[in-house]
Amino acid sequence: SANLPVVLEEALEKAGRRVQDVDVFASTAGPGLVAALLVGNTAAKALALAAKKPFIAVNHLEGHMLSPFITRPQGLTPHLSLVVSGGHSLLVDVRGTGDYTLLGRSRDDAAGEAFDKVAKMLALPYPGGPEIDKLANEGDPTRFAFPRPMMHEDHLDFSFSGLKTAVLYTLPKLTPSGDPHDLDRQTMCDLCAGVRQAIIDVLLHKAMKALQKTRHKVLAVSGGVSCNSALREQLKTACERRRIELVLPPNSLTTDNAAMIAFAGLLRARHGDFSPLDTPVDPNMKLAGAQTRK
């Protein structure tokens, strides 16, 4: 609440715009923590009311999902979407704005959550994804054979919770105290590389399977985990080999940001898809049309 007016003024100043110049006000309506949702939502509604402009309630996941297209010159196109954030791992068949079919999701931890939980066990700072990514670059991904749960099963769901258990059982074998602070640096890097590669293998394998099933020729990957350096590299190689267009957001737009919510709002506005000012926030908001699976 204290920071939002400051950020808003700074954003308007940088853009060289006044509040009255804004055509549409969009804000995240869910899913997320209700207190945080209410702050942004109330501010956007108040601005819309004061400026006499329409308001759009945006789903946070839709923001991530469309974010790769912010910088794609040809704009949005039907595609397969892989959303990998701290709270969600989803495979979605996207045919247009608001036209989504959920093909697969994580049955337990999200990919980002797996990075964060393993990092915590290794006494690395939060968020764990970037830390593991950095250390993994100096590690050997083949030294530890971590599981790739559900990778070869025919469905498109994920499971990542077994990974933290595998690391938990591995630690006491490496140091009698089981304390990650006692690990030598190379072992730490090898553990990180092993975990990172296990997560990437599963994501990559399921995404390629989903491309085959849907026959989409475009893959868009978004969410905080999509800035993982090795994931980006391996996605590029896999897509080039199959002549699939890979659409990735720039690193700055992978983790939570306002631009992706504005962009989703813009696409919705073009469809005249506005929200009444009494639209409530919803901490458990589902992706419209994506609740049911094929």
Chain residues binding Zn ion by CB under 5 A are: 85, 256
8-state DSSP, 205: H
Cis omega before residue 31 (within 30°)?
A: yes
CB of 188 to ligand KG4, least distance (A): 16
CB of 88 to Zn ion, least distance (A): 8
Token readout for 80 is 């397969």
Q: How far is CA 104 from the centre of its chain?
A: 14
CB of 133 to ligand KG4, least distance (A): 4
* Beta-sheet pairing, 79-84 with 218-222: parallel
Residue 160's binding partner out of Zn ion, ligand KG4, none, with CB under 5 to 8 Å set by partner kind: none
Residue 157 or 256 having the CB closest to Zn ion: 256
**Dist CA 167 CA 164 (whole Å):** 5
**Dist CA 174 CA 29 (whole Å):** 45
DSSP 100-130: EEEEEEBSSS-HHHHHHHHHHHTTPPSSHHH
- Helix, strand, coil percentages (3-state) for the chain, rounded to 5, are 50, 15, 35
Residue 159's binding partner out of ligand KG4, Zn ion, none, with CB under 5 to 8 Å set by partner kind: none
Token readout for 215 is 């026959």
Residue 54 or 265 having the CB closest to ligand KG4: 265
In the three-class reduction of DSSP (H, G, I as helix; E, B as strand; rest coil), residue 217 is classed as coil
Residue 44's binding partner out of Zn ion, ligand KG4, none, with CB under 5 to 8 Å set by partner kind: none
Residue 283's binding partner out of ligand KG4, Zn ion, none, with CB under 5 to 8 Å set by partner kind: none
* Beta-sheet pairing, 89-96 with 79-84: antiparallel
Residue 192's binding partner out of ligand KG4, Zn ion, none, with CB under 5 to 8 Å set by partner kind: none
CB of 64 to Zn ion, least distance (A): 5
Residue 228's binding partner out of ligand KG4, Zn ion, none, with CB under 5 to 8 Å set by partner kind: ligand KG4
Residue 93 or 133 having the CB closest to ligand KG4: 133
CB of 226 to Zn ion, least distance (A): 11
* Terminal-to-terminal C-alpha distance of the chain: 41
CB of 54 to ligand KG4, least distance (A): 26
Q: What angle do CA 9, 13, 19 make, to 5 degrees?
A: 60
C-beta separation of 227 from 254 below 8 A:
yes
Residue 141's binding partner out of Zn ion, ligand KG4, none, with CB under 5 to 8 Å set by partner kind: none
CB of 20 to Zn ion, least distance (A): 30
Tell me the one-letter amino acid at 290. Answer: A
Residue 48 or 191 having the CB closest to ligand KG4: 191
The site for ligand KG4 (CB under 6 A) is made up of 64, 85-87, 112, 115-116, 127-130, 133, 223-225, 227-228, 255-256
Residue 67 or 159 having the CB closest to Zn ion: 67
Residue 48 or 287 having the CB closest to ligand KG4: 287
Residue 85 or 275 having the CB closest to Zn ion: 85
Residue 227's binding partner out of Zn ion, ligand KG4, none, with CB under 5 to 8 Å set by partner kind: ligand KG4
Token readout for 86 is 């701290």
